[in-house]
């Protein structure tokens, strides 16, 4: 059995036998089949705040205290309205991780707007998106069960990247991210019945054994709760803070094949085509290309433009498969024969509404 850093601290009990790790380490592209179709989602990026309590060395998203931004309700409304007008279905709320006490300006601004936490403000942001005709998918970093419960009913789905179960120097420094805490967030989603997106980040100092362990940890969480809808296999990319290189295509192909091999068929494997050579890895089991935005930049990786929709079609054509649109919550979580209510009455009501937004959502479901 392996010992995941931080797991004991958070009471994470997911035994991963060495034999399963060894089995997965023997998997390569020849052991998986190519997908029958590729999906994507039309979204707008809303970078709610760039404040983050961590300082991951590969990340250009976070700003230090005094420089971090916080979008106003008016900015949020303007962006999501543009997205709805452009035919999007998803408002992707991105964050740093829970701003700590160093971010006094952020906390003062939140207080001025009547919020005692970033999660309280996230709830208002999600309400704006629902009102304007987009389904929220929030990725606010690590969340306690109480934080997630405060916003679960106004999100169609949520997410956090596990990245890796290993203790890597790239997460180091005085405020290091903790794999056990990430797994705790994924477990919270399972317990609360939130359809969830997670994934691994490849090339931040982890080795092949760590990649196998990370994928098996995600699978174990999904086996327990059934809530994981997609798993990203994302390569780290060079930027002004990261000069550690990016994984080569062969590495990415093997990592994608391992993900496809170990995850159940109903969990999608996604590569972000603005960060990875998607054409060269689709046959390793990728069946989703993530979100594409006709309106906003990819604020997480601003140096890398989102490919236009035409480029996604080219990737699908190259793979010889159809490209289909999906909602931010995968359709199986909306099915009538589900054993568990995965989507809140509030979100379900929006999808069924007899207005332009409801018609747009249902047109995607009928696609
Ligand atoms: S990767 Fe996420 S947790 Fe790490 S510094 Fe960037 S925003 Fe914060």
- Spatial distance between the Cα atoms of 264 and 121, rounded to a whole number of angstroms: 35
Q: Ligand 1 centroid vs 219 CA: distance in angstroms?
A: 23
Which residue's CA is minimally distant from atom 4 of ligand 1?
A: 56
Residue 302 has a pLDDT of 62
Q: Which strand (E) or helix (H) includes residue 75?
A: helix 73-85
Q: Ligand 1 centroid vs 149 CA: distance in angstroms?
A: 22
Report whether residue 48 contacts ligand 1, using a CB cutoff of 6 Å: no
Q: Which strand (E) or helix (H) includes residue 361?
A: helix 356-366
Residue 42 has a pLDDT of 94
Instruction: Locate 219 and state its tokens.
Output: 């699978």
Which residue's CA is minimally distant from atom 6 of ligand 1?
A: 59
> Strand 90-94 relative to strand 38-47: parallel, antiparallel, unpaired?
parallel
Q: Ligand 1 centroid vs 23 CA: distance in angstroms?
A: 32
Residue 293 has a pLDDT of 86
Residue 305 has a pLDDT of 62
Domain ranges for the chain, please list them: 18-366
Length of the chain: 367
Residue 309 has a pLDDT of 84
Using an 8 Å Cβ cutoff, are 225 and 190 in contact?
yes
Q: What is the pLDDT of residues 233-268, one digit of tens each?
A: 999 999 999 999 999 999 999 999 999 999 999 999
User: Residue 216 burial by CB count (10 A; 0-12/13-18/19+): exposed, middle or buried?
Assistant: buried
Report, as ranges of residue numbers, the positions in the chain whose pLDDT lies below 50: none
Q: Which of 103, 172, 177, 181 is the pocket-test mutation for ligand 1 (most atoms within 8 Å of CB)?
A: 177
Which residue's CA is minimally distant from atom 2 of ligand 1?
A: 96
Q: Which of 50, 59, 94, 95 is the pocket-test mutation for ligand 1 (most atoms within 8 Å of CB)?
A: 59
Q: In Å, what is the CA distance from 88 to each residue of 168, 196, 365?
A: 37, 20, 13
Residue 306 has a pLDDT of 57
Residue 19 has a pLDDT of 96
Residue 281 has a pLDDT of 98
Q: Ligand 1 centroid vs 60 CA: distance in angstroms?
A: 8
Q: Ligand 1 centroid vs 56 CA: distance in angstroms?
A: 6
Residue 12 has a pLDDT of 95
Report whether residue 97 contacts ligand 1, using a CB cutoff of 6 Å: yes
Residues forming beta bridges with residue 49, ordered by sequence position: 70
Helices then strands, each counted (H, E), the chain: 11, 9
Residue 15 has a pLDDT of 87
Query: To 10 degrees, what angle do helices 73-85 and 356-366 make?
Result: 50
User: Which atom of ligand 1 has the smallest separation from the CA of 58?
Assistant: 1
User: Among residues 214, 223, 213, 92, which one has the least CA distance to residue 162?
Assistant: 214
Report whether residue 96 contacts ligand 1, using a CB cutoff of 6 Å: yes
Report whether residue 285 contacts ligand 1, using a CB cutoff of 6 Å: no
Residue 301 has a pLDDT of 64
Please work out, in degrees rounded to the nearest 5, the angle formed at the alpha carbon of residue 141 by the alpha carbons of 327 and 348. Answer: 30
Using an 8 Å Cβ cutoff, are 269 and 288 in contact?
yes
Which CATH code, of 3.40.50.80, 3.30.70.260, 3.20.20.70, 3.40.50.720, is assigned to 18-366? 3.20.20.70
The reported pTM is: 0.95
């Amino acid at each position: 059995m392996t010992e995941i850093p931080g797991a004991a601290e958070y009471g994470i009990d997911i035994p991963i036998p060495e034999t399963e790790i060894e089995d997965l380490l023997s998997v390569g592209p020849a052991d998986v089949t190519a997908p029958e179709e590729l999906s994507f989602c039309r979204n707008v990026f809303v970078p709610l705040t760039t404040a983050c309590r961590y300082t991951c060395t590969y990340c250009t998203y976070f700003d230090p205290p005094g420089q971090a931004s916080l979008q106003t309700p008016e900015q949020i409304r303007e962006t999501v309205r543009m997205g709805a007008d452009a035919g999007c279905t998803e408002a992707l709320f991105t964050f740093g991780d829970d701003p700590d006490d160093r971010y006094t300006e952020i906390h003062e601004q939140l207080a001025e707007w009547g919020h005692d936490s970033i999660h309280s403000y996230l709830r208002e942001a999600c309400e704006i998106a629902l009102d304007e005709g987009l389904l929220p998918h929030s990725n606010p970093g690590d969340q306690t069960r109480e934080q997630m419960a405060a916003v679960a009913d106004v999100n169609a789905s949520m997410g956090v990247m596990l990245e890796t179960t290993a203790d890597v120097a790239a997460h180091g420094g005085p405020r290091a991210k903790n794999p056990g805490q990430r797994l705790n967030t994924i477990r919270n989603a399972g317990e609360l019945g939130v359809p969830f997106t997670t994934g691994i980040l490849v090339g931040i100092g982890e080795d092949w054994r760590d990649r196998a362990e990370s994928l098996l940890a995600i699978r174990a969480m999904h086996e327990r709760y059934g809530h994981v809808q997609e798993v990203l296999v994302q390569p780290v990319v060079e930027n002004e803070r990261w000069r550690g290189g990016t994984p080569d295509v062969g590495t990415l192909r093997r990592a994608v094949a391992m993900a496809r091999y170990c995850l159940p068929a109903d969990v999608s494997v996604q590569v972000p085509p603005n960060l990875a050579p998607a054409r060269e890895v689709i046959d390793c089991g990728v069946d989703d290309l993530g979100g594409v935005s006709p309106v906003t930049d990819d604020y997480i990786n601003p140096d890398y433009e989102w490919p236009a929709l035409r480029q996604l079609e080219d990737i699908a054509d190259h793979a010889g498969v159809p490209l289909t649109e999906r909602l931010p919550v995968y359709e199986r979580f909306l099915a009538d024969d589900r054993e568990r209510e995965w989507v809140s009455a509030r979100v379900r009501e929006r999808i069924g509404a007899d207005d332009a937004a409801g018609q747009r959502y249902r047109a995607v479901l009928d696609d």
